[in-house]
Amino acid sequence: MNSKEFLDLIPFNGELNRFESYEDISLSNINSLSLVLSASFLRKPRKIAVCLPTLYDAQTLMDGLMDYLNQDDVVFYPFDEVLRIESIGTSKEMVEERINALTSTCLDKPVIFITHSAATIRLIRSKETFQSRIFTLEINKDISRKELLEKISLAGYTRVNKVQHCFEYALRGEILDIWSANYLDPIRIEFFDETVEEIRVFHPETEISYKQIESITIVPASEFSLSKEEKEVGSEKLLKALSERKLPKLLFDELSERVRPNLDRILNEGMDETNSRYLLYFDDNCKTVSDYLSEFQVYIYHPIDFLSSANNFENEEIDFFNDLYKNGQALEKERIYDSPEEVLLSLNHVSITNEECKFKTVDISYHNTNLATSTNFISNLIDDGNNVKICLTNERRETLINHLDEENVAYSIYPEVGRIQIVDFGINSGFLISSENEVFLSSNEIFGLAKQSGKFLTRFKEAKILKKFDDLEIGDFVVHEDYGIGKYIGVFDLNGLDYLKVQYAGEDNYLYVPLSKFKLIRKYAGKEGSVPSLDEIGGTSWARRKEKIKKRVSYLADKLLAINAERMAKPGYAFMHEEEMEHAFANDFPYKLTDSQQKAWDDISKDMESPHPMDRLLAGDVGFGKTEIAFRACYKAILSGKQAAILCPTTILAKQHNEVAIKRFKGYGVEIAMLSRFTPKKEIENYIKKIKEGRIHLIIGTHKILGSEIEFNNLGLLVIDEEQRFGVTHKERIKEITTNIDVLTLSATPIPRTLQMSLLNVKSLSLLTQAPQNRMPIKTYVTKYDEGLIKEVIARELGRGGQVYYLHNRIDSIYSKAKKIQDMFPSCVVKVVHGALSADEIGDVMNEFYDGDIDILVCTTIIETGLDIPNVNTIIVEDADHFGLAQLYQIKGRVGRSNRLAYAYLFYKEYNNLSEQGQKRLKAIKDFTELGSGYKIANQDLNIRGAGDILGKEQAGFIDSVGYDAYMKLLQEVMNEKNISDQSKENKPLIIKYELSFSLDSHIPPSYASDSDRISMYQELNEITTFKDLQDYEAKIRDIYGPIPEEVRNLFLKKEIEIYLNDTFVENFVENIDKYIITISPQFMARDGVINLIEKALSNFSNDIIVRFTQKRMIIYVNRTPDYLVLLYNILSSLYSIKNN
C-alpha cells in the first residue's frame, strides 16, 4: 500500500478540502497537521510552507511527514534558538538543511517547506543574491579555470586536500571535487583543458566514483555568502563604526578584540551564523526567509504562540545588544532578527488553530511493552467500541499475524472488513480519531518500540573518517623501523628526488628518507597527550626497547595461549539450539540486526552450543546494540534450563539494564531479579532464596551478585558489562565463579580490527562496527566562556522539559560552581557528582538524575562512560581545551540519545591565555566539531584504549613507548612465530622479498598530487600484494587524480613486476648495475614439458637475455636496456602464464 492509499483511509471530515482551498483551518495537534498536509500534497502537489512556534514543533512535524512523503518532498529550514552564541567553530548539520531548503525555493518543483519562529525572523541575504550564487556545469561545455574558481569562491566553499564533507572543494590538476548541499554525495568533474569532459558522483569514504551524470548544479555554501567587493566595502564600514565609538581606551581595546577576530574570519572564511550579527554592515538590503516564500501557500501553526515566540526572541535580542552597546561591547548595527510584525505582514498566510476542531487525532498514551501482551491491549481497544487498524510492514506484519493466529484472535487483512484490520503500511506512532472511534496502531504500540527513530536532519551525513590517520603533517612524531622515533619536518627535493626529512635527538640530526621508502615510516600514535622522546640515529635505545617489548609480548602470548588451552580442555555446557523459541524472541525485536550484530550473534550462538566454556568479548560503542545480543544469549541459556546473570559496575547501569530487560522479556516467562544497594533488604532475602531454588532465571546486579550469600541454582552464563571498571577483588571473585560457565564480556571501547586479527586464535572477540540508523546529530559549538550564554542554553533546555550535564572537571571548585548555577536557577534541583565521592554517593546522585529528579548535574568526567539518559540533551563542557578528542567524543555521546536535537557547548577561556599546546588542541577540537557530529570518526586514541583494555596496563605502556603501529607489528611477528595468528591460506598475505630499486623514470611527480597524498600513495602501493588489488588501485588513482602520467604508470608496472618476482616460480632475484638475475625454482622446472614452453616463450627476447641451467635451476640474465621495465614484465608474465596453465 502506498502513502496516498493509506491516507485515503483517514476520515478528514471536510478539513482536507478546507486546507486545499487555502483557508484558515482548525486542527487538534501536529499529528493531525502531518496527516492533512501529507494527504493534501499527494492529492495536489504544490509549494507549501508551514511556520511553527518552536524548533521542537518543527522537528516533530518533520518526523510526522516522513511517514508519508519522500525525503525530496519536504525541506527543513532550522536555526538554533540561542542568541548569545559567538563561537569559533560550529557543526554544520543545520546549515546543510537550510541551504537545501533555500535552494528548493529557487526551483520550479512542488515542495513542503518547514520552519519555525526564530528562523522565520532571522536576517539573511536576499533570494536574488542567493540565486545569483547558483551555477551549473554540463558535460562538453567550456568554463575557464579563473571563472570557475571565482564562482566557487563566491558561493563560499572551502578548499581542502580531500573532500569529505559538504561545502568543500579540492582541485587536483584536471580534476575538481566538490560537495554541494543538494547532493547526498560529492561530485567529481574532470576537465580536458577548459571543457567539462566527465561528471561523476563518488563515495566520500572510498573516494571512488560510482555513477556518471550529465550536469551538476552547485548551490551556495552559506545563506550569508559575500563577494570580494562586498567584503571590502563591509569591512571598511565595520572598521569605521568601530573607530567612531567614543570609549575609554581599555573598553575600546576590549571591543576591538571582539570585533577584529570576527572580521578576520568573515574576510578569510566567509560569514556564518556565529558572526552574522555584523550582516547589516555588509548588506543594506538583507531580508528574511519570507523573501523566498512569495510563490508558496504559507500556513502559520498556532499564530498567537508563533508571534509570542518570535516577539520573545526579538525582545531578548534588543535587551542583549542594548546592554552590550551601553557597556561598550558591541557596535550599533549588530543584530540577527527582523521585526516579527513586519515579517508576518510580508508573509501572505493563513492560520492553523486548535479551536473547534472537526478533525481531531489523539496520541495513544498507553504503550504496550512487547508482542506477547499485545492481544490484551488490542482487546481492550475493541471493548471500548473502537475499530482497530494495525499498520505494519514486512516481517513485523508476518510476526503479528502468526501471533494472532496462535492466540485465536479474529482479524482481517485490509481491504477485507473487520473490527481488527491489518494494513500493509508502516507509521511511527499510533493515534485515535475519537469522533469516528478509529484507532491506528504502529509497531510502537504492538512491539513496544517505534518503527525507527526521528528523521530530523536526514540529509546530514555523519563524518565517516576525520582524515586518514597516516596523513602526515609537519611536526608530527614518526616511527622509523630501523631508527625509532623522530619528528617529521617536511618533504624536500635533493638532486631531483623527493625525501622526507625527519629530525632525531641531538643537534642537526636529520634523516632523509626517499619517498619510495616511506613504508619504513609510520606516524607515531600513543595515547592522547603523550609526547615521546626522540631516539638517536645510530643509538641502541630503539633496538633495546623493541627487544624488551617483544619478550614481554611473547610472555603475554604464552599466557593467552595457556588460558585458551585450559578453557578448551575444560568440560563446559553445550546449550541447546531451540530454534522455534529463539526465533520468536528474535522476532519480537522490531529492528533488523546490523551485519556486525548478526555476525556477533552467530559467533556467540556457536560458542554457547560448543562443549567448551565460552569466553568472548563483545566490543562496540554505546548505542551499537550490545544489550540486545546479551539478552539473546541470556534467553538461550534460560531455554536450556540454566540461569543467566548480568554483572554491572554501577547501580545505575544495573537499573538501566533491569528496566530494559523487564520490557524485553515480558511474556516469555522469565523471572528477573535486580540486586543492588537500592533493592530493599527484604526483597533481597526473598531473591536469594528464589535464586538458590532456581525460581529466578535472570539476575541483574552490581558486585552484590558476587557475594558469598548468593548461591546460584544452575548458573550457565555470566554477562559482564565493562569488566575493566571492576577492582582486583571483584575480578578474582569473577574468576572463581566462572571456571566452567560461559562468559560474555561487554565493552564500550572499540577494539581495533588489527588486534582482533592478531589475537584471532587465542581470544574470542566480536566487534560491533555499524552505528544505529538515524541517530540524532549533536549540534556542537566551540565558544569562549560566557555566563550569559550558559544561562540562556540551560534555560532553553529546561524550558523544553530536559536535563543538563554541566562538566566542571575540578573537584576543589565544583561546589562553588554548583552554587553559582543554583543562584541562576533557584527553583531547579542542582546536584554535584565527582570521583572523590564514595561509590554509594555517586550511585545515589546518578540514580536521582536518571529518574529525572535532578535538573542540572554539575559533574567531572565521571560521566564519560556507560549511561543512557534520553532526557539529557544539553551538555556544557568548561575548559574543553584541557580534553583530548577521544575524551570529548565520549563525553559528547552522553547526549543525543532520544528524538530531540542535542547540544554540546565546548567552552574555553581567553584564547591569548592558552598555552601553545592548548591552542593546538583547541584548533583540533574546532576541526573535529566542524567536520560533523563525530560519531564514526576514526580515532586512534580509542583504538589504543581498546588495546590497553584487552592486553593490560603493561602492554598499554609499551604502545606509548614505540607507537601503536610498531607495537602491532611486534605483536603480529610474535603471533606468527608461535603459529597462532590467523594464517589460513586465504588470509595469508604474499610476503614481498624482492623489490626493484628506485629510479627517476618511475615515481609520483609533485605536479600530480600533494605531498601528503604522494606519501599515502607510496605507502598504499607498498602494501599491495595481488594483481587484482593493484588493478583496482590503479583505477582508483586514475579516478581521483586524472590521467596517469608515464612516471606513475612505470611505478605501477614496477609493482606488477615485484608481484611476479615474489611468486613461487621465482627462487631468487638479484639487481646489478647493468643486469638483473632471475633464478627459476627447481620445482617449477621439474614440471613436464615446462622447459620447451619456457624456451619458446623466451625466444622473443634472445637479444637481451642469457639463459643458463645449473643444479636443476634456470638462471636468466636480463640486460638493463632502456626499456628494461617492459622487458622484465614480458619475461615474467610469460613465465607466470606457463605456471598457471
Q: Would the pLDDT of 938 be above 70?
A: no
- At 199-230, the pLDDT tens digits run 999 998 889 999 999 999 999 999 999 999 99
Look at residue 739 in the predicted model and tell me its pLDDT: 75
Mean pLDDT computed over 504-516: 86
- CB contact at 8 A, 747 and 425: no
Look at residue 986 in the predicted model and tell me its pLDDT: 43
Mean pLDDT computed over 150-171: 92
The least confident of 300-314, 464-478, 544-558, 660-674 is 464-478
Q: What would you measure as the largest C-alpha separation in the chain, in angstroms? A: 104
Instruction: Tell me which of 942 and 175 has the higher pLDDT.
Output: 175
- At 445-455, the pLDDT tens digits run 887 765 554 44
Confidence of residue 464 (pLDDT cuts 50, 70, 90): very low
Q: At what angle do helices 374-383 and 394-406 cross, to 10 degrees?
A: 80
d(CA 1018, CA 1033): 12
Mean pLDDT computed over 177-181: 95
Q: Cell match 563604526: residue?
A: 241
Q: Would the pLDDT of 340 be above 90?
A: yes
Mean pLDDT computed over 836-852: 87
d(CA 520, CA 192): 37
d(CA 356, CA 958): 73
CB atoms within 10 A of CB 337: 23
d(CA 999, CA 1128): 15
d(CA 967, CA 958): 7
Nearest-Å Rg of the Cα atoms of the chain is 33
The least confident of 446-455, 697-706, 1011-1020 is 446-455
Cα dist from 455 to 74, 361, 811, 1052, whole Å = 11, 22, 40, 46
- At 726-735, the pLDDT tens digits run 776 777 778 7
Supply the DSSP string of 110-174, one letter for each residue: -EEEEEEHHHHTB-B--HHHHHHT-EEEETT-B--HHHHHHHHHHTTPEE-SS--STTEEEEETT
Work out the percent of the chain whose per-residue pLDDT is above 90: 48
Q: Would the pLDDT of 881 be above 90?
A: no
Confidence of residue 933 (pLDDT cuts 50, 70, 90): very low
Q: Would the pLDDT of 983 be above 50?
A: no
| The most confident of 472-486, 784-798, 991-1005, by mean pLDDT | 784-798
Look at residue 332 in the predicted model and tell me its pLDDT: 93
Structural domains in the chain, CATH included, are 3-128+285-353 (3.40.50.300), 135-218 (3.30.2060.10), 361-447 (3.40.50), 778-934 (3.40.50.300), 1011-1139 (3.90.1150.50)
Name the H helices within 702-850. Answer: 728-737, 753-758, 787-799, 811-824, 839-850
Look at residue 1023 in the predicted model and tell me its pLDDT: 84
Cis link prior to 532 (omega < 30° from 0)?
Answer: no
Mean pLDDT computed over 769-798: 80
d(CA 338, CA 200): 42
Which residues lie below 8 Å from residue 1098, measured CB to CB, with a gap of 6+? Answer: 1105, 1107, 1116, 1131, 1134
Name the H helices within 407-463. Answer: 443-447
Look at residue 982 in the predicted model and tell me its pLDDT: 46
Q: Would the pLDDT of 342 be above 80?
A: yes
Mean pLDDT of the chain: 86
Mean pLDDT computed over 995-999: 76
Look at residue 948 in the predicted model and tell me its pLDDT: 62
Cell of 1074: 647493468
Cα dist from 900 to 71, 101, 327, whole Å = 19, 20, 37
- At 8-44, the pLDDT tens digits run 999 988 889 999 999 999 998 999 999 999 999 999 9
Mean pLDDT computed over 241-250: 93
- CB contact at 8 A, 105 and 295: yes
Q: Would the pLDDT of 462 be above 50?
A: no
The amino acid that residue 267 corresponds to is L
Mean pLDDT computed over 841-868: 85
Work out the percent of the chain whose per-residue pLDDT is above 70: 88
Look at residue 936 in the predicted model and tell me its pLDDT: 38
Cα dist from 824 to 315, 791, 797, 798, 807, whole Å = 20, 7, 14, 13, 16
Q: Would the pLDDT of 560 be above 60?
A: yes
The least confident of 159-163, 278-282, 400-404, 759-763 is 759-763
**Closest listed residue to residue 699, CA positions, set 677, 719, 723:** 719
Mean pLDDT computed over 329-351: 93
Chain-centroid distance of CA 1007 in Å reads 34
d(CA 65, CA 57): 12
Instruction: Tell me which of 160 and 507 has the higher pLDDT.
Output: 160
Q: What are phi and psi of 677, to 5 degrees?
A: -60, -25
Instruction: Return the beta strands (E) in 672-730 as ranges.
Output: 672-675, 698-701, 715-721
